[in-house]
Structure 1
Amino acid sequence: MTTPSIEFFVGLTEDLENVSLRRQKDTGVRTVMMTFKTLKAIEKFKSFTQRTYGDLRLIDDEGVISVEPSSIKFFFAGDEGDEIRRVECSFQLIKDQHWERFMRFMNRYAQANGMGYQDK
């Protein structure tokens, strides 16, 4: 049994803080925004010791979902303004089957990591 995980770098699991799901009424395109407090990938990126795919990998029992982020935003804090406060990674899912597969992953990830769903 595979523990659901999220990776930017191969073998380096990130800890998801929050996920926001939105759907454009006019086009039906769904946007996913994942929020992380920190990214282990930042430290690995600095040292270039891990192989990267250049995408975000969501891994569970069904296999690997590979998505290319449409945006990654870094928010900084601290006295020098150089401490990462959070990172927001967004990507779009257009096809219904991709959305359904993503939701199955998120349900598994949430269950494995003690997260819950809250409708706004």
Structure 2
Amino acid sequence: RIKVMVLVVHILALAFHVGSPARVSRVVPAHVSTPCARMMARAAEIQFIKGIDETVVPDIKLTRSKDGLTGTATFIFQQPSFLEATAGPQEEITGMYMVDEEGEIVTTDVNAKFINGKPRVVEAVFIMQNPPTWDRVMRFLERYAESHGLGFNSA
């Protein structure tokens, strides 16, 4: 039997159940990270192009294995701003970067859904392979919610 707990941050749902296979993802501490991630007291932001914050708030689904050792965070962006012409066609998307005062969390598992030949939905998946990484992602999500005026509601 699986216990289910739902925590809502805007349209953020958490569900604990068996996770999925691992994909490439990493956590970079602030002291090892890029200059933009080392800024003190930086608000939590998500970026697809380094240095350009994504303005669209994603739907986020978190899953965790029954034993609590692994988990998955899936971010779904409906018409993300980085797809607009202002980002420029020369900009390369190398992953999704979750940047805050602790550093940078990176995943390269980023996919787009095309509608009528144009990318409309972007999905990024971050695999949490141990409890400390789960805790780190949760701290990021709390900061992200706070910096975007979102609140936690327990359901």
TM-score, normalisation: structure 1: 0.74
For structure 1, which runs of at least 5 residues remain unmatched after alignment? none
Task: Tell me what 1:38 maps to.
Answer: 79
Task: Tell me what 2:97 maps to.
Answer: 57
**Offset at 1:10?**
1.0
Distance 1:110 1:42, change over 3 A: same
The structure with higher relative contact order (CA 8 Å, sep 6+) is 2
**Offset at 1:20?**
0.8
Q: Percent identity?
A: 27
1:58-103 deviation digits (Å, cap 9, x = unpaired)? 111112122232x524263xxxx34655322222111211111111
Distance 1:82 1:115, change over 3 A: farther
**Offset at 1:5?**
0.6
Q: Does 2:151 correspond to 1:111?
A: no
Q: Which of 119, 126, 131 is 1:91 aligned to?
A: 126
Q: Could you tell me whether the CA contact under 8 Å between 1:16 and 1:34 is conserved in 2?
A: no
**Offset at 1:56?**
1.4
Task: Tell me what 1:47 maps to.
Answer: 89
One-letter code aligned to 1:67: T
Using the alignment, how far apart are the partners of 1:112 and 1:93 within structure 2? 23
One-letter code aligned to 1:55: G
Using the alignment, how far apart are the partners of 2:112 and 2:92 within structure 1? 22
One-letter code aligned to 1:39: P
**Offset at 1:25?**
2.5
Q: Could you tell me whether the CA contact under 8 Å between 2:70 and 2:129 is conserved in 1?
A: yes
**Secondary structure class of the residue paired with 2:58:** strand
One-letter code aligned to 1:35: I
Distance 1:115 1:84, change over 3 A: farther
What is the aligned length? 113
Q: State the Cα RMSD in Å.
A: 2.7
For structure 2, which runs of at least 5 residues remain unmatched after alignment? 1-40
TM-score, normalisation: structure 2: 0.60
